Structure 1
């Protein structure tokens, strides 16, 4: 197995009506990679409590393994109170010092690092200091003889990020995914003036991809890569393209960004051109918005037909 790995929070999203939905951006990402036909796992931590046991059961029911979900004897399973505004956009009240804040490195993770095709992480699981697995996966995938894809899905939540966390994630990753609000934060904290700065400023002599999601307006993608001129010297090229939005009957937008990232990564690993990845991901995320929660069942073939890719 050569899985795609989501590293970070797994938790219960709790809605105003009391409904609980398994969530957390890395978990949503891993779920959608699995739904799109790829082996995927979540590296996280839950408490030794009823919520943790129930969450493990839900992870398995959704088709993923809980093998890499650790049990914390001292901290409770994570919960988030979700509120939706008039546009069905969520805000989150996130319980602090819960199990996923204390993910550790254990013997199971070493072979996973050696075989993973890609790893995706965000900022939230680093809020009280970066867990060792995030650093070791991001840096370890690049150190392998055959490097894996490292994805930083920024996912800013409240005050739970620092300039240091942002700079480390951007400079360490092959892909950076942000939304319009997050780009404004990067502009303020890091003096980035455009999407291209997230790659060109951090990797002036390297390859990388930056993806900006704009909700119903679609997405923008910037790619920078290295070629060789006729003398064999490095030549750096770049391109920017946009993909228009897709109409949707929005129920809520929880997990739509995570689904978008998963779709981009999966199609890229299948060898699809980046423009096709973006078109599919935009359609896929729109479908996710038509269902409650971040892990609805979506038919891939229907999305491919809607996107004109089948």
Structure 2
């Protein structure tokens, strides 16, 4: 029997900014954080080091009301860290090797639990240990799989990404990632997206395009475009895609029409970029969305 819980698998880490500020991050962590604020109570599966930053992540999750039962502690490898640089408003990332999230233990995720959706990215798949843990988790999964593609050089291999795309029903990536992964590119983004969706047997494909908004296509041929509304006082764009993904998952859970889901995802992502970093630690930030979307 499938329950109504979303499982979120992957990295938890700290984004280190040039001014010395450290902010909780990692795409799966960010998604789980937003889902918790939206009263979804996700199961977050990750691994941190036996160190001060790992303790901070665990404490932050507990303070936010998140369960830490599947947050593993690694005795040998450190909690993940990413050096963030900002150039012309766009973030760049220096992702260190051999971090605790690379070694999520295969035997610990609860493979007997049934989830409505399993969400994961592609960064945590760079190490065979974490990839095997995800294989265990998805082996008996009867619900949907949502892949949020994050191609961070040199930490990805096209064939591995293709294998996981073929297991998914929903996929989100950005325009550049679509171009990297599309063997046959058409004259229009719409046609390229349609071919990509058909090649991997997807139900829904979402492509984000930064300040130009996002597009989606589904298996029935419905094509949707959304754009940010108004002028935004952008603090930074770190985590905008994760905010977008969190609302896509809400739409999956609640059966929202794809057009409405995309509009709401764009609205929330636009609000998020006015804040510094990928996570917001003030529940009042979420309240207007919770009320408008009837998430209580």
Tell me the residue number matched to 2:96. Answer: 95
Instruction: Tell me the secondary structure at the aligned position of residue 137 of structure 1.
Output: helix
Q: Does the aligned pair in 1 maintain the 2:109–2:133 contact within 8 Å?
A: no
> CA shift at 1:67, angstroms?
1.3
Distance in 2 separating the partners of 1:70 and 1:29: 18
Q: Partner residue of 2:125?
A: 126
Provide the rounded CA distance (Å) in 1 between the counterparts of 2:238 and 2:65. 20
- Which of residues 11, 15, 37 in structure 2 aligns to 1:35? 37
Question: Structure 1 residues 306 and 55 mapped into 2: Cα distance closer, same or farther (>3 Å)?
Answer: closer
Select which of 279, 288, 293 maps to 1:302. Answer: 288
2:52 to 46, 50, 53: 50
Q: Once the 2 structures are TM-superposed, how far is the Cα of residue 50 of structure 1 from its aligned partner?
A: 1.9
Q: How many angstroms apart in 2 are the aligned matches of 1:127 and 1:86?
A: 29
SS in 1 for 2:146: strand
Do residues 246 (structure 1) and 245 (structure 2) align?
no
The 1:75–1:216 alpha-carbon spacing in structure 2 relative to 1, beyond 3 Å, is same
Q: How many residues align?
A: 282
Q: Distance in 2 between matches of 1:192 and 1:128?
A: 30
Paired residue for 2:200?
202
Counterparts in 2 of 1:1-310, with a 5 A limit? 2-87=4-89, 89-107=90-108, 109-111=110-112, 114-129=113-128, 131-141=131-141, 147-187=142-182, 190-193=183-186, 194-203=192-201, 208-224=203-219, 237-247=220-230, 248-296=232-280, 297=282, 299-300=285-286, 302-303=288-289
Query: What does the per-residue CA deviation read over 1:161-183, in whole Å, with 9 as the maximum and x for residues that have no partner?
Result: 11112211211100010111111
CA RMSD of aligned residues (A): 2.0
Distance 2:123 2:277 in 1: 19
Cα distance in 2 between the residues matched to 1:167 and 1:192: 16
Runs (5+) with no aligned partner, structure 1: 142-146, 225-236
Q: Distance in 2 between matches of 1:306 and 1:168?
A: 38
TM-score, structure 2 normalization: 0.89
Consecutive unaligned residues in structure 2, runs of 5 or more: 187-191
d(CA) in 1 for partners of 2:290, 2:127: 40
Q: What TM-score do the two structures reach when normalised by structure 1?
A: 0.85
Deviation of the 1:103 alpha carbon: 0.7
